[in-house]
Amino acid sequence: MIDSLITQVQYQAEERQEELFALLAELIAFPTVSPPARNTLKAQQYMEEKLKASGFETKLWEVYPGDLNVTAVKLGTERDTHRSLLLNGHMDVAEVSDTREWQSDPFKLTMKNGRAFGRGTADMKGGLAALLFTVKLLTEAGVELKGDLLFHSVIGEEAGEAGTRACMERGYRADLAVVADTSGLAIQGQGGVITAWVTVQSPCTYHDGMRSQMIHAGGGVQAASAIEKMVKLITGLQELERHWAVTKSYPGFPAGSNTINPAVIEGGRHAAFIADRCSLWITVHFYPNEDYISVAAEIEAHLIGVAQGDPWLRENPPTFRWGGRSMIEERGEIFPSLELDTESDGLKALFANHQEVLGTAPEISMSSTVTDAGWLGRAGIPTIIYGPGDLSNAHSVDESIDLKELVDYVKVMIAFIADWCNRTKPECNID
Query: Pairing between strand 177-179 and 383-385?
Result: parallel
Of positions 48, 67, 92, 123, contacts Zn ion by CB under 5 A: 123
Question: With respect to Zn ion, which residue has the nearer C-beta, 181 or 408?
Answer: 181
> Closest approach of Cβ 419 to Zn ion, in Å?
26
Of the residues 148, 157, 161, 419, only one is catalytic, namely 157
d(CA 241, CA 411): 44
Q: Residue 92 catalytic?
A: yes
Region of 123-131, 165-173, 254-262, 298-306 interacting with Zn ion (CB under 5 A): 123-131
**Chain centroid offset of residue 116 CA:** 23
Question: With respect to Zn ion, which residue has the nearer C-beta, 156 or 318?
Answer: 156
By CB under 5 A, what part of segment 168-197 binds Zn ion? Answer: 181
Question: With respect to Zn ion, which residue has the nearer C-beta, 319 or 368?
Answer: 368
> Closest approach of Cβ 164 to Zn ion, in Å?
11
> Closest approach of Cβ 238 to Zn ion, in Å?
30
Q: Residue 123 catalytic?
A: no
3-state secondary structure of 230: helix
Long-range contacts of 415-419 (CB under 8 A, 24+ apart): 415/2, 415/6, 415/10, 415/353, 415/356, 415/357, 416/178, 416/349, 416/350, 416/353, 416/354, 417/85, 417/134, 417/135, 417/138, 417/145, 417/149, 418/6, 418/9, 418/138, 418/143, 418/145, 419/349, 419/353
> Closest approach of Cβ 415 to Zn ion, in Å?
24
Q: Are 68 and 158 in contact (CB under 8 A)?
A: no
What would the x/- binding string for Zn ion be over residues 81 to 120, using CB under 5 A? ----------------------------------------
161 sits near Zn ion (criterion: CB under 5 A): no
372 sits near Zn ion (criterion: CB under 5 A): no
124 sits near Zn ion (criterion: CB under 5 A): yes
d(CA 58, CA 417): 19
Of the residues 48, 92, 276, 399, only one is catalytic, namely 92
> Closest approach of Cβ 32 to Zn ion, in Å?
12
For residue 206, the one-letter residue type is Y
> Closest approach of Cβ 156 to Zn ion, in Å?
11
Question: With respect to Zn ion, which residue has the nearer C-beta, 123 or 276?
Answer: 123
Task: For 103, list phi and psi in degrees, rounded to 5.
Answer: -75, -25
**51: DSSP letter:** H
Is the dihedral angle over the CA atoms 5, 382, 186, 48 positive or is it negative? positive
Region of 122-130, 324-332, 334-342, 395-403 interacting with Zn ion (CB under 5 A): 122-130
Residues of the shown chain interacting with Zn ion in the complex, contacts defined by CB under 5 A: 123-124, 181
Indicate which residues carry an active-site annotation: 92, 157
